[in-house]
Amino acid sequence: MAEDSRLTAVVALAQGMAAAHNPRESWRAAALGACRALAGSFAALSVWERERGRLRVLVNVGERAVEEEEFPEQETYPVHQFPEITEFLHERWAGGGGPTAWVETAQGPAAGHAGYCHQRVAALRRRGRGCCVVAPVLLHGRAWGELYVARKAGAPVFDGADADFATVLASVVAAGIAQTERLEEVRRLAFTDALTGLANRRAVDVRLEEAIERYREDGVVVSLLVCDLNGLKRVNDTRGHAVGDRLLERFGSVLSLCGAMLPGALVARLGGDEFCLLAVGPTADEVVRVADEVCRRAAQLELGDGVACGVASTQDPIGTVRSARRLFRLADAAQYRAKAVRAAKPVVAGREGADDPVVRLADAPPPAGGERRRFRGRH
* Whether pTM exceeds 0.85: no
* Three-class DSSP category at 127: coil
pLDDT of 377 above 50: no
- Of the pLDDT bands very low, low, confident and very high (cuts 50, 70, 90), residue 192 is confident
CB 136 within 8 A of CB 99: yes
pLDDT attached to residue 310: 94
Q: What is the pLDDT of residues 7-24, one digit of tens each?
A: 898 999 999 999 988 889
pLDDT at 90 over 60: no
Residue 95: pLDDT band (50, 70, 90) is: low
Whether the pLDDT of residue 226 is over 90: the answer is yes
- pLDDT tens digit sequence for 29-80: 999 999 999 999 999 999 988 777 788 999 999 999 988 999 998 898 887 6
What count of other Cβ atoms lies within 10 Å of the Cβ of residue 299? 13
- What is the Cα Rg of the chain in Å? 28
β pairing state of 129-139 and 222-229: unpaired
Task: In whole angstroms, give the CA distance from residue 198 to residue 231.
Answer: 21
DSSP 15-80: HHHHT-SSHHHHHHHHHHHHHHHTT-SEEEEEEEETTTTEEEEEEEEES--TT--SS-SS-EEEGG
- pLDDT of residue 366 exceeding 90, the answer is no
Residues 6+ apart with CB under 8 A from 90: 143
CA distance 11 to 155: 25
Report whether pLDDT(126) > 80.
Answer: yes
244 residue type, one letter: G
Residue 342 has pLDDT above 60, yes or no: yes
Task: Give me the mean pLDDT over the 186-199 stretch.
Answer: 82
- The per-residue pLDDT of the chain, averaged, comes to 85
User: Which one-letter amino acid corresponds to residue 226?
Assistant: V
Query: pLDDT of 245-255, one tens digit each?
Result: 888 998 998 99
For 11-15, 258-262, 356-360, which range has the lowest pLDDT when averaged over its residues? 356-360
Give which of 107, 93, 101 is closest to 159, Cα–Cα.
101
